[in-house]
Amino acid sequence: MKSSYLINLTLWSIINTMLFLSKVNSQTFYPPDFPIISPQLMEAYIALQAWKQVITSDPNQFTANWQGPHVCNYTGVYCAPAPYDPFILTVAGIDLNHANIAGFLPEELGLLKDLALFHINSNRFFGVIPDSFVHLKFLFELDISNNRFSGPFPSVVFFLHSLKYLDVRFNEFDGKIPPQLFELKLDALFINNNRFHSALPANLGNSPVSVFVVANNDIRGCIPPSLANMAETLDEIILSNMALTGCLRQDIGLLRGLTVLDVSFNNLAGPLPESIGAMRNLEQLNVAHNKFSGQVPSSICSLPKLENFTYSFNYFSGEPLVCLRLPGNDDRRNCIPNRPFQRTPEECSNFYVQPISCGSIQCLIS
């Protein structure tokens, strides 16, 4: 799910620095017939021509008209008045979504200092995010999802203080998820479907995001207790298909603004906290394919907005009738008496001979 954001760029606290950086270097070469335009558009011309030179495939001809100095006419390039001077036209957005372009991002893209939107999802870009992106002080939305970027998490984003929307999903980033990520003032964060290999940082709860998706990575250990600190902001959290262990804490019920909670396909255990029944806005709850056990709390199935509750492939031993009345209910492969498609008696008895104790689980949190 993606959100739409209103860009409101007002005061520019470092205007003198920006004006200095936007001046064209006297060593820069321009074609003899280059028209007199603003330094901002001149630098945009340099950046976009450098980018075009390292594009190795553009089957849909998105960049075919990237010729000449009139960059505001280039496909996928959007101009607007500069945030610090309404009389200066500058490149404010790049949108090459679903273009199927192959290539990499050159350092010259850091010349697009007034850029607010950079969207290149669903292409074949590879390599890393240039360090020169630190100059993009206005960047509000960065979407590089569904490409072939690799290496460690792009630390350049830690210097983008205007950033609110970050989407790096479906790439090949690896290594640890850095704790600094959760100190950014983001509203939406998508890092799913990469190759991250670590535990969730202990400061996860410092993030003010409303949407957080980190599914389909090799993330181990427990869900940090700090998650409960996100009660005021969090709307959706998806932690599915990883290697999470431990139990869900009772204070997860403090996340009363949640509409979506998905922890499916992990190794979580213990009972479902009764406190989830306090999440009055919850619409989707998926805890399938874990090792949860005990009774399903009736308070959960009584939530007024709950539309889908999936708790299949666990070891629950009982469920209240109210759960069966939900429009979307999946209780298969549990240990619930008199329900179809349950585990065999042998599976259930073997599990309950030595049930998992939440107090005995050693948690790994980075």
Q: Give residue 53's domain range.
A: 42-139
pLDDT in tens, 144-171: 999 999 999 999 999 999 999 999 999 9
Percentage of residues of the chain with pLDDT beyond 70: 89
For residue 34, pLDDT beyond 60: no
Q: What's the structural domain count of the chain?
A: 1
- Report CA dihedral (270, 272, 273, 276) to the nearest 10 degrees: 160
Q: What is the structure's pLDDT at 1?
A: 41
Q: How many CB atoms lie within 10 A of CB 54?
A: 14
Q: What is the structure's pLDDT at 359?
A: 72
User: Could you tell me if residue 122 is inside a domain?
Assistant: yes
Q: What is the structure's pLDDT at 19?
A: 30
User: Could you tell me if residue 359 is inside a domain?
Assistant: no
User: Could you tell me if residue 111 is inside a domain?
Assistant: yes
For residue 241, what are its two tokens?
């298909």
Q: Provide the β-strand partners of residue 190.
A: 167, 213
pLDDT in tens, 250-278: 999 999 999 999 999 999 999 999 999 99
Taking the model in full, what pTM does it have? 0.88
User: Could you tell me if residue 258 is inside a domain?
Assistant: no
User: Could you tell me if residue 119 is inside a domain?
Assistant: yes
For residue 356, pLDDT beyond 50: yes
Mean pLDDT score across all residues of the chain: 90
Q: What is the structure's pLDDT at 355?
A: 74
User: Could you tell me if residue 82 is inside a domain?
Assistant: yes
3-state secondary structure of 2: coil
Q: What is the structure's pLDDT at 366?
A: 62
Band of pLDDT at residue 365, cut at 50, 70 and 90: low
Percentage of residues of the chain with pLDDT beyond 90: 86
- Residue 355 and residue 303: Cα distance in Å, rounded? 28
Q: What is the structure's pLDDT at 18?
A: 33
CATH of the domain at 89: 3.80.10.10
Ordered alpha helix ranges (H), 31-134: 39-53
